[in-house]
Structure 1
Amino acid sequence: MDQNDGLRNDRSSADRSFAREISYPRISKEGSSSNFSTFGSGDENSNEAILNSKEEAMDTSEEPFSPGLTGRELPSAERMVAMMHLSETAPSPTKDITRRLSQLGGGDTARFPGDFADIFLRFDHLGEEQQIQFAQELLLRMNQFQHGEINSYLKPLLKRDFISLLSNLGLHVLAEKILFKLDASSLRAAERVCHDWSRVVAEGQLWRKLIENNVRTDPLWRGIGTRRGWIRNLFRKYPLPQLGDTYYRQLYPIITRDIDTTERNWKLGNFALHKINCRSENSKGVYCLQYDDEKIISGLRDNTIKVWDRNNLQCSQILTGHTGSVLCLQYDERIIVSGSSDSTVRVWDIARGEMLNTLVHHCEAVLHVRFQNGMMVTCSKDRSIAVWDMLSPKDIALRRVLVGHRAAVNVVDFDDKYIVSASGDRTIKVWSTSSCEFVRTLQGHKRGIACLQYKERLIASGSSDNTIRLWDIECGACLRVLEGHEELVRCIRFDNKRIVSGAYDGKIKIWDLQAALNPLSLASSLCVKTLVEHTGRVFRLQFDEFQIVSSSHDDTILIWDFFNNSVVTLPQSAASGRSSTRIDGDNQPMALLAEPLAR
């Protein structure tokens, strides 16, 4: 078997793309290549021809041409002459590549009469499509024996090592682009084809580029790179010279082992547990939280907001000002916005801990707050939803009040298209973000809805009927009902792989989201793991690819670490470290639910 055959299937899409970019030269009967097709009038040499084809070039299983397959009349001589007079047509963009490929061997045109030179020249100046049409016209004039002879010359031509060919011609960039289309296993196999292929991979730093591409597109890769420290070696304008192709080739399987270990830990429930004790004289529960790599910010029933250092799990800052329990909060790089049972929304400077603004609008407890892109939405026990324009932390103006729920509005979420709200009246309502007009109501829960997350077309909601429901926001259909919690489902989050929910039964459940969206999946297979460590109601949780952070009525914050924290030796002497980058499980501002709940 040709050593390139093993890669043919993996390279198929890349080959087809390449075939569109390049005109293949002909191989003569002696094995040399030429940029011309050879034809005659009946002697032995007249049986030699090469089809300069783009679309059929990569199909080595093509049968010999047969006139009986066409069903067309033979073209007139005038038509062939007319085609040859199209030589003034501008050459295709790939003519330069074709010319450079033809330098590897020349066709023997001296054996033809002198006037054939003009025909060859005109053929060379035709566009690619016209060259194909011209060759097809010639094939129609040949018999089956001649077709078989041509086919015998096509087969080795189509199996030629075009990667080495491009590399030897100095077209390294094109060769690298072709091999960059391969996945990791195919790239590793390509390196073993021959020295030229291995050199293209190494000089093109294709392993580094493959890792960079995965980091761009997959948050799990990005998170592991941040935690292991190797991400700082990527995306440099001038790659570090001491980190060559060997380093990245050895790094790749280390990364995939980290990924496999992390995914296995999620499935098996293997984690390292870290606890923050928030107990104080007046504390009776941690109602809300949000975190990043450096800190956890929590809202407590003792009316305070506390900031916890992730390195030592100690309280580093306390914000005071609310006169009631802090029921919800969200922060970004500059500010914290909090809502309280004192009916106010307060804005804080995250660096200095100073209160910047107090918004007084709702007449009862503020149960949820969300803000992003200059817009904020709050909801309240007073059954209303307030939409705000945020020009700055001190310049926040009420835009619109949305009414329609018949009980406390426990949670809101929004994006550029929809605002979604859930209430103790058992309904979810959808509103237009731009116009603030009502769109539709989603019904199905049998008791009040306590929590909700909305992203793209999917809504996940949890209720005091102990169930979780998945909804399609565009049509309002309930896609799946998840059962398993024994009490009110108080908090819920999801990403593209899993759903994580917390309930008043003190349990946190991990669900397989993709299985839940598959109507053929059995209900018994949807819950992957149940985590039981809290001794009280679970009020709030947030998660990313590596951890869950949860808070409870038991005055604790628990960090469930599913990442493999064992020592990993990186290739060569690359330092392992931890960058300070913010983690946000769904890359959206966090929305938080608070006590009390209307049932």
Structure 2
Amino acid sequence: MVSLKNKDPNSKYCYRHRPDSKCRRAADESKMALIQRDLETLSAGDRQAITNRLCEQHIGRKCEKCNWGLPKLEKKRLREWKIHQQRTLPPALPPTLPPTQVTIIDDHHPPVSTSTKRAAEPNEDEGQAKRQCIKEGANGNVENKDSGLGKQFRPWKDVYRDRFKVGSNWQKGRCTIKTFSGHANGVTCLQFDDNMLATGSYDATIKIWNIERGEVVQTLQGHTMGIRALQFDDRMLVSGSLDGTVKIWNWRTGACINTLNHQGGVITVHMEGDFLASGSMDRSIKIFNFKTQQSFSLRGHTDWVNQVRLDVTSRTLLSASDDCTVKMWDLDSRTCIRTYEGHVGQVQQVLALPDDFEFEDETSREVDASSTASNRSVTPVTSPSPHSSSRQAEERVAYGPVFSNDPERPLPPRYMLTGSLDATLRLWDTATGKSPRCFWGHVEGVWGLAVDTLRYVSGANDATVKVWEPRTGKCERTFTGHSGPVTCVGLSDSRFASGGEDGEVRLYSFEGEPSECLERGTPS
């Protein structure tokens, strides 16, 4: 390692490999915004050239100037854990944890941190999803018809107003931030719902947090190496670890229900319906059927499998790998239907997009721009509906005999999104195998990705989180705050969360009045 003493800031060392600029330092918000704007002015060819140079210099190689490489986080941590794997697991933290910090900042006042260790307040929306029948009263309020108690619920106008506030706050980047600290090492995976947050770490533990109180309510211990993936529902939690096992937990009691094994460390898990899929460092994918208790393997990748996503409806699976490819698998025949090539770095994430997803291609934007210049009104060109009969017929032929020979079989999701260590996101047409759009903005590899119909959220090795507009592909805002790589992200309609190698999870909430929020993200 190069000494920091008398370090020449104008040396030949590449910026990413300079210890003084790399070690545990948060990203500079204003610089990231300028980089984003500059990237968006470049042609597609120039962007691709930059991506290729980044990958050639930093992925799988060492810098010739400083002889220091950028190893993948998992391999780096795996070496560390192999050294210490004979030691006992770290003891559980005491019941009284440091309180979660809530940060509220505006343009006129300094940052203020407040403890959130207080009694939970009633959730006024709790339980509404289970009500079978509601009706609107004469005063515009909604009543529970089945209860017979005439209980008052929120008027629809109030709900609409709140949703409008959330949308406006997203657009302007106004949010409050809660920081969850408690892991003894970097956070690698997370998932949250209304008031529950689950986090996994290289410290070999899974923590279940009460979001409102900011407290750990359960710590799951049993893995002997770092946790790399998790997913929970109201019944159970599934976790994958570098110790080569997948564990199924009753997360409410902390009990381990079952353990499944790989020959190598488990990098990813995904459960849907009766199926559980896992991807491993041993280059294989395992599928386990909860109903039949049977399992089988899919083989074809030539390097680590970083992400798997089941689509039980179409009986297919998507997988992303360090071999720089994404594959679609047929679960019936257990064969690979298609391989998607285009990334020049290891692919870390793959997510199927909703069926109603549409995007504006380059042609539509050019037409729209020219029509604006000539003061003519032109309807934007978007992708045709994926449900049209002619479109489905074309897709069946494109997917091959697996679907063309079975006209009743539901088709896979039409579009998917991927994130790679080449620092880009890519949109793919799964039927044609083409990538109609590449998302540029991060200056280092993308580790985390979350999507819905309104936005994409990505976290990267450059310590930033970016929010993207799906239809146009524009980066709307960049968030900083982590003091190391952002390894995982989660997304809901009014919040997103990011976990980092710095051991923290930051939860951004876009609810509330503008005066209560913080304009934190830098517009791009």
- TM-score category, normalised to shorter length: 0.5 to 0.7
Of the three residues 259, 267, 278, the one matched with 1:358 is 259
Distance 1:321 1:261, change over 3 A: same
Q: Distance in 2 between matches of 1:441 and 1:336?
A: 31
Q: Which amino acid aligns with 2:250?
A: D
**Residues 296 and 246 (structure 1 numbering): CA distance in 2 closer, same or farther, change over 3 Å?**
closer
- 2:228 corresponds in structure 1 to 327
What are the Cα deviations for residues 60-100 of structure 1, in whole angstroms up to 9, with x where unaligned?
xxxxxxxxxxxxxxxxxxxxxxxxxxxxxxxxxxxxxxxxx
CA distance 1:266–1:245, change in 2 (3 Å) = same
Kindly state the Cα deviation for residue 436 of structure 1 after the two structures are TM-superposed. Answer: 2.1
Question: Per the alignment, do residues 404 and 563 of structure 1 end up closer, same or farther by CA in structure 2, a change over 3 Å counting?
Answer: same
Quick one: structure 1 residues 231 and 401, their matched pair in 2 at CA, closer, same or farther if it must change by over 3 Å?
closer
CA distance in 2: counterparts of 1:307 and 1:237, whole angstroms: 33
Counterpart AA for 1:273: I
User: Relative to 1, partners in 2 of residues 1:531 and 1:355: Cα closer, same or farther, differing over 3 Å?
Assistant: same
Aligned to 1:494: 451
Give me the whole-angstrom Cα distance separating, in 2, the residues matched to 1:373 and 1:341. 25
- Matched residue, 1:442: 340
1:372 deviates by: 1.4
- 1:503 and 1:228 map into 2 onto residues whose CA distance is 36
In the alignment, structure 1 residue 552 sits paired with structure 2 residue 510 = no
Structure 2, unmatched stretches of 5+, are 1-121, 143-152, 354-412, 517-524
2:182 is aligned, of 268, 278, 283, to 278
- Over aligned residues, Cα RMSD in angstroms? 2.5
Alignment of 1:169-568 (within 5 A): 229=125, 232=128, 237=133, 239=135, 243-247=137-141, 251-279=155-183, 283-360=184-261, 362-391=262-291, 396-398=293-295, 400-416=296-312, 417=314, 418-455=316-353, 456-516=413-473, 526-564=474-512
- Alignment deviations for residues 192-218 of structure 1 (CA, whole Å, 9 cap, x no partner): xxxxxxxxxxxxxxxxxxxxxxxxxxx
- 3-state SS of paired residue (1:411): strand
Label 1:285 to 1:474 Cα distance change in 2 as closer, same or farther (>3 A). same
**Residue 473 of structure 1, CA deviation:** 1.1
SS at match of 1:490: strand
* Greater strand share, structure number: 2
What per-residue deviation string (whole Å, max 9, x for no partner) do you get for residues 127-171 of structure 1? Answer: xxxxxxxxxxxxxxxxxxxxxxxxxxxxxxxxxxxxxxxxxxxxx
Once the two structures are TM-superposed, the CA of residue 351 in structure 1 deviates from its matched residue by 2.1
- Residue type of the partner of 1:373? G
Mark the CA change 1:556 to 1:508 in structure 2 (over 3 Å): closer, same or farther. same
Counterpart contact for 2:220–2:251, Cα < 8 Å: no
Change (3 A) 1:246 1:412: closer
Instruction: Count how many residue pairs are aligned between Structure 1 and Structure 2.
Output: 324
What is the CA–CA distance in structure 1 between the aligned matches of 2:215 and 2:130, rounded to whole Å?
Answer: 33
Match for 1:270: what amino acid? R
Percent identity between the two aligned chains: 30
More helix per residue: 1
Task: Answer with 1 or 2: which has the greater Rg.
Answer: 1
Distance 1:233 1:390 in 2: 27
1:232–1:426 Cα change, 3 Å: closer
Change (3 A) 1:313 1:233: closer
Q: How does 1:38-77 map to 2 (within 5 A)?
A: none
Aligned AA (2:273)? N
Question: 1:441/1:232 Cα in 2 relative to 1: closer, same or farther (>3 Å)?
Answer: closer
Gaps of 5+ in 1: 1-225, 517-525, 569-599
Does the CA contact (< 8 Å) of 2:423 and 2:445 recur in 1?
yes
Deviations 1:358-405 (A, max 9, x none): 112x211100001111111111011111111112xxx7431x211111
Counterpart contact for 2:218–2:252, Cα < 8 Å: no
User: Using the alignment, how far apart are the partners of 1:503 and 1:354 within structure 2?
Assistant: 33
Task: Provide the residue aligned with 1:206 in structure 2.
Answer: none
Change in Cα spacing, 1:238 to 1:485, as seen in structure 2 (3 Å) is: closer
User: What is the aligned partner in structure 2 of residue 97 from structure 1?
Assistant: none
* CA shift for structure 1 position 254: 3.2
Paired residue type of 1:431: W
Provide, for residues 30-85 of structure 1, a one-character-per-residue CA deviation record: whole Å limited to 9, x for no partner.
xxxxxxxxxxxxxxxxxxxxxxxxxxxxxxxxxxxxxxxxxxxxxxxxxxxxxxxx
CA distance in 2 between counterparts of 1:306 and 1:236 reads: 34
CA distance 1:246–1:315, shift in 2 (3 Å): closer
In the superposition, the TM-score normalised over structure 2's length comes to 0.58
Q: Secondary structure at the match of 1:434?
A: coil
Q: Counterpart of 2:165 in 1: which secondary structure?
A: helix
Match for 1:414: what amino acid? L
Distance in 1 between residues matched to 2:251 and 2:449, nearest whole Å: 26
Partners of 1:233 and 1:239 within 8 A in 2 = no
SS at match of 1:262: helix
CA distance in 2 between counterparts of 1:333 and 1:311 reads 18
The CA distance in 2 between the partners of 1:493 and 1:237, in whole Å, is 33
Name the SS of the counterpart of 1:287 in structure 2. Answer: strand
- Pick 1 or 2: higher relative contact order, CA cutoff 8 A, min separation 6: 2
1:271 is paired with a residue of what secondary structure?
A: strand
SS of residue matched to 1:357: strand
- 8 Å contact 2:268–2:278 — kept in the other structure? yes
* Equivalent pair of 1:427/1:444 in contact (CA under 8 Å): yes
Deviation at 1:411, TM superposition (A): 0.7
**What do residues 500-528 of structure 1 show as CA deviations (whole Å, max 9, x unaligned)?**
10101111100000223xxxxxxxxx011
**Distance change >3 Å, CA 397–CA 238, structure 1 → 2:** closer
Query: How has the CA–CA distance of structure 1 residues 250 and 304 changed in structure 2, closer, same or farther, with 3 Å as cutoff?
Result: closer
Question: Which amino acid in structure 2 is aligned with residue 412 of structure 1?
Answer: V
**1:399-420 CA-partner distances (Å, limit 9, x unpaired):** x211111111111112022201
1:473–1:565 Cα change, 3 Å: same
